[in-house]
Structure formats: C-alpha cells, structure tokens
Structure 1
C-alpha cells in the first residue's frame, strides 16, 4: 500500500468561488464517513496547472459550468484539513449548473448572502468573506 505525501508536499487545492445573479455556487460533497458538507467546487491543482485553471476545471468537472477570467482572492492552509487552499473568484458562469460528478457530490445550490450561514455555519476565510460581502450585498 502506498503512503500519502504529507499535506505540505501534496498539491494545493483550488476552490472556485462562482457568483452569478446575486448568489454563490456551493456544492455538497459526499465524504468518506457518509456525512455531507457544503463548500465551493474545488480540487487538486495538477502538475503544471495554474490555480485559476484548476478551479475553472473543477467547477466544470463537478457542475458542468464554464467559468473564465478567474481572480485569486487569497490562499491559506485550511484549519480543518491542513491542505493549502487557493481561492479563485469568478463573476459569471456559462451553462446550467448541475451535479455532474455524482460520485463526489450529492447536490448543489446557488446561495444568497442571507442564506450563507444555513449552508456554512462557520466563518469563511477573510478575503473570501470580503469578496462574498461585496459581490452579494451589492446585487
């Protein structure tokens, strides 16, 4: 059996923060224990890939939407997973979002600012929260 690399040697995770029509796209993941968790479409950055491209690819692979012109919001080591996270903002999406990767995802939702705490009860990473506040409260 092969061992996994330590978290600091594993590729970063790129998260797509997609906003459209005054709502942000969240997906509900299936995780090993069978519990479900709402988060942004996300996945590992592949070798030679930019985080912006990885976030766009993951959004497409998981939900079928096409996003372009990503802007990096920030990065951190995630306090729960220990993985390096890179957050990429996209302000529009082409296509109808649906659960494409049904092995990894249970469902998805376009969430208004007033509903965020119902889906994600803990605080977002500061730059992400600032972006959500600015983009969702102005619409």
Structure 2
C-alpha cells in the first residue's frame, strides 16, 4: 500500500493591480525577511487557477474586487523558494484598505518612480516590463 504525501507547499499567486497610473502594494504585518512590501498574494488552493487565487486573495486582503487580465509569468521566488505566479488585474470596484489585519498592516498605491523604494531588490522581469508599459514614467 502506498500513501501519497504532498510535501510541496502550494504555489503563491500575486495580483498586479494598476489604477490611476499606480500599482497596488501591501505591507505584510510579519515581514518575510526583506519582503516587506509586495503585491497582494496568497496560496493557490487545490481547486483554483493562479488567476482565480490572485482575485480571491486581493479581495480577502484589501477588500478590492478585481478581474484577472492575464497571467504575466511564473518563477521560483529567489528569496522564498516558493513557486510564484503573477497575474495582471484591473479594479472592478471598491477602495483598497487593510481588510485582513492579521496579514497586512498597510496598503499603498505606488507610482512607477517609487517602485524601487518599496522593492529595492527589483521586480520579476515580466512584472517590471508590464508596469513599464502600463504606468506613466
């Protein structure tokens, strides 16, 4: 008799949400090393796609209702070793706020020129390319 053991942690899905020329970032209540500011994100559940997880996690963390536009890319995160998916999304309605105060302690709409202050180690290339395209420099 064999028993399957799932040792892999689930992938993490992040939402890249642009509104009024800025991108939404959240600050984790408990920092993951250097990862203080990041995009709304969370674990992908068994029955959902990366895009669905990005939409759900955004609502849970920030109260925003968003719609996935497209999957920008996936990678193993260099800082955490977790599989990451990045989904571009657009706001349908709501105002971003800290909806889950156990996970987050702040939200911010960040201009293109400010990204490096929030994420000094740089963004995943497909995410940076997307933001270069859609945000005013």
TM norm structure 1: 0.88
Provide the residue aligned with 1:57 in structure 2: 56
Tell me if the contact between 2:68 and 2:87 (Cα under 8 Å) persists in the aligned partners.
no
Tell me if the contact between 2:50 and 2:85 (Cα under 8 Å) persists in the aligned partners.
yes
| Alpha-carbon separation, structure 1, partners of 2:110 and 2:66 | 17
The reply on whether 1:126 has 2:107 as its aligned counterpart is no
Greater fraction strand: 2
TM norm structure 2: 0.89
Structure 1 consecutive aligned stretches of length 4 or more whose deviation exceeds 3 Å: 32-36
Give the 3 Å change call, closer, same or farther, for CA 132–32 of structure 1 in structure 2: closer
Any idea what the Cα deviations from partners look like across 1:73-110, whole Å, max 9, x if unmatched? 00000000000000000133410110000011010000
| Alpha-carbon separation, structure 1, partners of 2:32 and 2:84 | 22
Q: CA deviation at 1:52?
A: 0.4
| Alpha-carbon separation, structure 2, partners of 1:97 and 1:71 | 21
The reply on whether 1:70 has 2:56 as its aligned counterpart is no
The reply on whether 1:137 has 2:118 as its aligned counterpart is no
Aligned pairs, how many? Answer: 132
